Structure formats: C-alpha cells, structure tokens
Amino acid sequence: MITDIQDLEQQKALDHIRELMTAHWREAQDAQDDDGKFGIAFKATFDHGASPTKLKVTCRIAKTISDEIESEVEDPRQPKLL
C-alpha cells in the first residue's frame, strides 16, 4: 500500500523530471551522435533523514551537460510547527 507521502514524493520527482526534460530536450538532440542517437538520464535521490524529505533530481545529457533540481516534500500527516 502506498502512503500519502510516497505519492507526494513520487509526484514531485516526476514533475522535476518533466521540467528538466522540457528545459534540456533541445540540448540533448544537439548532442546526438553520428547515428542520430542521444540520451537523457535522470536520477532521483530522496533523503528521508531530513524533515521534510529532501529530494534532488539530476539530469545528465551526453556525459557533458548536467542540471539538477532540489526540493523538499513535507509529510501531510505531520503537524506544522509555527
């Protein structure tokens, strides 16, 4: 069973991947090899040791271009401290 926080973490990671893909699609195509092949790799790292959870999504294109987004995912079940 997937919890609310897992859903939030996964959704936020996918949103960041979409954002990075949109931002770097043209660069990836420009980096294609002679056969017309190119790749975009994404890595999502979650730090559950932090509160709220820290999320970093890294994008790598053709081994030369990289970008990343860092964010936090708050557990909706935890009360907010003022």
Across the chain, mean pLDDT equals: 87
Task: Compute the distance between CA of residue 54 and CA of residue 52 in angstroms, rounded to an integer.
Answer: 6
Q: Kindly report, residue by residue over 9-46, the tens digit of the pLDDT.
A: 999 999 999 999 999 999 999 988 888 888 899 999 99
Q: Is the pLDDT of residue 70 over 60?
A: yes
- What is the share, in percent, of the chain residues with pLDDT greater than 70? 91
Going along the chain, which residue ranges are E strands?
A: 40-47, 53-61, 65-73
What residues are paired with 2 via a beta bridge? none
Token couple for 71: 């964010």
Task: Compute the distance between CA of residue 69 and CA of residue 12 in angstroms, rounded to an integer.
Answer: 11
pLDDT for 21 equals 95
Q: Is the pTM of this model over 0.85?
A: no
Q: Can you give the residue ranges of every domain in the chain? A: 4-73
